[in-house]
């Protein structure tokens, strides 16, 4: 059909990522349109509220990767669009440190990998010369909209923080636009080891971590403003027991920054939501979730603690249901009243997991080594 190119463009902009990747095979015009970085950016912006959220799981025992549409997965959809994807064996084993705009941030010393599993594009970054010998506490990856720039953030200590004395800390940022590492100097960095399960959470133009203040022995939320390129702090809720924070994490619950904390005494998970960003008094405990023993679940205590048998919230659906992982092998679902709705196994062995958004976006220098 001889359709106007503008009509073709507007139609393609409204299709899901998976379909667009397949439609590159239709004709030269379509592959030209879909491969255009401006089209990818327009598609991402137009579909911000409709993007497919997927659950990426990577086995800790082998280079096995699965990408799952977990809304369909937990609802027993017969045609759940799950797929397997691959990376070079040389990338394994690695740790997942976060996701942003369709990209997965992975780390394997001494390299950082940024990968878009929807398109297969990837970028490898060598760690800065200083950090190859440093003890890294916090990793982050985000997008600076003011500069149209992706950045990797590392907060590191030159010496082991468990030794006597105050380590010399450094904050470094890699800019994809500038293609270089830059140290942020003159910043007071009293933050200790990020010993909890989790990664840097991108929200409201900043990357957020749970960490500890070495100088006052108190846990806080550390933020890095992606536009101003500065660190800031936010206190935790007054009623959170800091002795319980070994098993805790940050996540985004709907439109709010949220923290979950495992109460080991009552064997529950507390959900706290910050109703107004960076306003301490707006913290509100919204749910207390019971910890159910899932039938048929097997946990090997020799695996890392990040695969421990407790619920780890990861995603909140439009109707308020909470989906998270359990034991590194299962997805569990609660409703907005805290009622247990069900579970499904997503793999046979404990896995690294992350929630990401499908996108066609690419990075400058994809598939290149820096």
| pLDDT, tens digit, 9 for 90 and up, residues 49-72 | 666 778 888 776 666 677 887 666
Residues 6+ apart with CB under 8 A from 264: 244, 247
Mean pLDDT in the chain? Answer: 80
Q: Which helix (H) or strand (E) holds 333?
A: strand 330-334
CB 343 within 8 A of CB 323: no
Tokens standing for 73?
């997965």
Quick one: pLDDT band at residue 44, thresholds 50, 70, 90?
very high
CB 100 within 8 A of CB 147: no
Task: Return the exposure string of 14-53: e unless at least 16 CB atoms fall within 10 Å of the residue's CB, then b.
Answer: eeebeebeeeeeeeeebeebbeeeebbbebbeebeeebbe
> Of the given ranges (40-49, 170-179, 237-246), which has the lowest mean pLDDT?
237-246
Whole-number Å distance between alpha carbons of 13 and 131 = 41
Q: DSSP characters for 131-158?
A: GGGSEEEEEEEEEETTTTEEEEEEEEES
Could you read off the pLDDT of 283-305 as tens digits, one per residue? 999 999 887 655 554 444 444 44
What are residue 332's DSSP bridge partners? Answer: 324, 343
Average pLDDT over residues 85-106: 78
CB 22 within 8 A of CB 15: no
Task: Return the exposure string of 209-228: e unless at least 16 CB atoms fall within 10 Å of the residue's CB, then b.
Answer: bbbbebeeeebbbbbbebee
């Amino acid at each position: 059909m001889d359709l106007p190119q503008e009509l073709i463009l507007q139609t393609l902009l409204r299709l899901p990522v998976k379909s667009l990747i397949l439609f590159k095979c239709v004709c030269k015009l379509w592959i030209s349109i879909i491969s255009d970085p401006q089209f990818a950016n327009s598609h991402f912006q137009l579909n911000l509220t409709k993007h497919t959220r997927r659950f990426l799981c990577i086995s800790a025992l082998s280079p096995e990767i699965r990408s799952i549409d977990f809304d369909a997965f937990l609802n027993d959809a017969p045609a759940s669009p799950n797929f397997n994807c691959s990376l070079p064996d040389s990338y394994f084993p690695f740790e997942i440190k976060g996701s942003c705009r369709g990209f997965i941030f992975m780390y394997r010393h001494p390299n950082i990998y940024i990968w878009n599993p929807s398109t297969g594009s990837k970028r490898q970054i060598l760690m800065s010369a200083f950090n190859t010998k440093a003890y890294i506490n916090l990793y982050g990856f985000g997008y600076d909209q003011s500069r149209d720039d992706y950045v990797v953030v590392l907060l590191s200590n030159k010496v082991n923080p468990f030794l006597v004395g105050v380590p010399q800390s450094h904050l470094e940022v890699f800019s994809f636009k500038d293609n270089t590492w830059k140290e942020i100097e003159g910043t007071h960095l009293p933050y200790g080891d990020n010993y909890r399960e989790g990664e840097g959470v991108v929200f409201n133009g900043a990357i957020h971590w749970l960490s500890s203040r070495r100088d006052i022995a108190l846990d806080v939320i550390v933020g890095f403003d992606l536009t101003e390129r500065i660190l800031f702090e936010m206190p935790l809720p007054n009623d959170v027991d800091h002795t319980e924070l070994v098993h805790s994490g940050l996540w985004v619950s709907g439109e709010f920054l949220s923290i979950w904390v495992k109460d080991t005494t009552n064997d529950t998970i507390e959900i706290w939501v910050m109703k107004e960003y960076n306003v301490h008094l707006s913290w509100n405990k919204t749910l207390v979730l019971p910890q159910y023993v899932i039938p048929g679940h097997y946990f090997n205590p020799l695996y890392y603690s990040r695969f421990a048998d407790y619920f780890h919230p990861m995603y909140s659906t439009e109707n308020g249901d909470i989906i998270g992982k359990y034991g590194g092998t299962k997805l569990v679902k609660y409703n907005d009243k805290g009622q247990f709705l069900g579970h499904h196994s997503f793999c046979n062995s404990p896995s690294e997991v992350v929630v990401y958004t499908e996108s066609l976006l690419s990075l400058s220098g994809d598939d290149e080594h820096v």
